Amino acid sequence: MENPFFEEWRTPFGAPPLDRVKPEHFAPAYDRALAEHKAEIAAIAAAPASFDGTIVGLEKSGRLLARVDAVFFALSSAHTNDALQAIEVEMAPRSAAHWNSLYLNADLFARIDTLYQQRASLHLDPESLRVLERYHLDFVRQGAMLKGQARTRLDEIGQRLASLATQFSQNVLGDEQDYVRPVREDQMEGAPDFLREAAAATAKERGLDAPFAVTLSRSSVEPFLQFSANRELREQLFKAWVARGDNDNDRNNRAVIAEILKLRAEKAHLLGYKSFADYKLADSMAGTPAQARALLEKVWAPARRRASEERDDLSALIAEEGGNFKLAPWDWRYYAEKLRARRYDFDEAELKPYFELNRMIEAAFYTAGKLFGLSFIERRDIPVYHPDVRVWEVRRGDEAIGLFYGDYFARPEKQGGAWMSSLRDQERLTGNVLPLITNTCNFVKSEPALLSFDDARTLFHEFGHALHGLLSQVKYLRLSGTNVARDFVELPSQLYEHWLEERQVLERFARHYQTDAPLPKQLLEKLLAARNFNQGFATVEFLASAFVDMDFHALEQPEAIDAKALEAATLARIGMPEEIATRHAAPHFGHVFAGDGYSAGYYSYMWAEVLDADGFGAFKSDPFDPLAAGRLYEHIYSAGGSRDYAQAYRAFRGRDPEVKALLEDRGLETA
């Protein structure tokens, strides 16, 4: 059988032939890739310690495995099926065992440690010194200094955690795939045209004998919660949405969470930390759970006060309309939209015709052009895995710097949420290797595709991540693009969101999809005036999830864990308003449990927001200030992980960040 992974990819940019990859290609590809990497590591571990032989050798190893992994992640996350899910279940522990064997290879670590101890006399350039230090730290944090039974147990834990993460994400996806709510015409009261069109498209796509339908994709369910006058329907949709991963079926994630937390705590103990949170944050800008909590608590008090004021205002509106019920979580978005329309004389339905998807993609590209000199040329000769996926060649001046893939629409076979990933990372060790970067979103597919302002912000956010990968200019893969601390990685993405609200961007690209008329100045003024409306709610729902994450992972001896009770205890401790739900309930909190990327790290969005709110101050006099943009490119977007993160921020901004900017940006400083 021909296998694309065993061929030289003669596609433009050496892009993976995604249209030719089939599920049956992965088993032999993984067999060969793992065997090749194992042999490469054995050779490195047997050779004398040297920077070129050991560190450069590690950098050059595993290239076939990286190829296979990147393509598999793209398909299993955005275009999955039963065959791919079965491979995922099989490969998760096998891959974990492979990487554990690398980090626990005593001969290999001995060589890295020898170089690390001699680093002052090796006369390395700053980036080479940095990559040596990062490799040494990686190995130590993965147990390289453990002995005997502790090493064996750490390996077992790693494999089991990989299996549990796969189970968690597949459980959530299963609940999302199974749920589609048919909606009758008489249940569409209050729905604006864009919502009716999107719901009709969903019903048609799912083959339903109903005029409308809604799924549990955030971009599908949230508009119903925002506009539907049918309170019973809002309650049903909300309860189904928050119950993903927590239903009375074989996909309930409560037991999965309990085992994950217990194993993570055991891993932390083996590595010498009192909790998993202590372990995770030791290699972060925050440094300790106490530092992360201090930030969350500083923002929580004014956010909760503001949310309480918002609750009272919404309750008063319900009473004014004669509603004989108490404000509930499934009412908040609906009455907040009504109140916003009253206070600022506009609603989301007025905005949507001006935020058409293609225009917003153009807006993101335009901003990148103004800041960094980028241009984007759509390519239709690059293989893709689904017809929805679009590809652009990215150029800086006259030079091609990579490819950008955009996969924007929700599909049943696609995980919920939005993310950036890469099919290949930038590096210069083996030549000028250009990055292949993907943005995946879950917007409702309709014609035209009209976005909410939050959807447009999501597009800018993920494109900020994409630029972090596309603009990377480093030598080593280990330091490339988004290979940075978790509480730094959100800075480029969250900072980029600010440009969506800039007048010259909105005036140029927020144009009516039918008439091409620009967003009326009066409506633009209302949009900008209302930017902090409902900010107490938004901040509280995020912070609550961050507190739950931190409390879960601060457990030192997590025995007989009841995840539901633990979550409830955290919410009671912080005084969570009962009218607001956490942004992510634990059973579908994929950031934290579908892998450990954001485990004990969900706070990092808020940490990075301190940086981005403060950092955007560099552009207050001119949103496209070329000097500030030059520093931003040099020290943040192109530098990857090649330098200390706090030093990188200071080099860009000229000083350390201040929390005051975040409170001002969210309109909470006077709360």
Residues known to be catalytic: 462
Q: What is the four-CA torsion angle of 445, 446, 452, 456, rounded to 10 degrees? A: 60
DSSP state, residue 498:
G
Alpha-carbon span 136 to 140, nearest angstrom: 6
Euclidean distance between the first and final Cα of the chain, in Å?
A: 66
Tell the residue number behind the tokens 């440009």, with chain if given: 499
CA-closest candidate to residue 524, choices 282, 281, 294, 351: 351
The two structure tokens encoding residue 49: 């310690």
Alpha-carbon span 637 to 269, nearest angstrom: 36
Q: Residue 118 to residues 129, 174, 642: CA-CA distances in angstroms?
A: 11, 52, 20
Alpha-carbon span 273 to 136, nearest angstrom: 18
Instruction: Please tell me whether residue 272 adopts helix, strand or coil conformation.
Output: coil
Which residues does residue 421 pair with via DSSP β-bridges, in sequence order? 438
Instruction: Please tell me whether residue 517 adopts helix, strand or coil conformation.
Output: coil
CA-closest candidate to residue 598, choices 462, 486, 490, 488: 486
Strand order in the sheet with 419-424: 374-379, 390-396, 399-409, 436-443, 419-424
Tell the residue number behind the tokens 């025995």, with chain if given: 559
Alpha-carbon span 562 to 567, nearest angstrom: 9
Alpha-carbon span 294 to 286, nearest angstrom: 10
Q: Say which amino acid occupies 464.
A: G
504-510: long-range pairs with CB below 8 Å, 24+? 504/623, 505/363, 505/366, 505/367, 508/363, 508/366, 509/359, 509/360, 509/362, 509/363, 509/366, 510/354, 510/355, 510/359, 510/363
The two structure tokens encoding residue 508: 């140029």
Q: Number of helices and strands (H, E) in the chain?
A: 27, 7
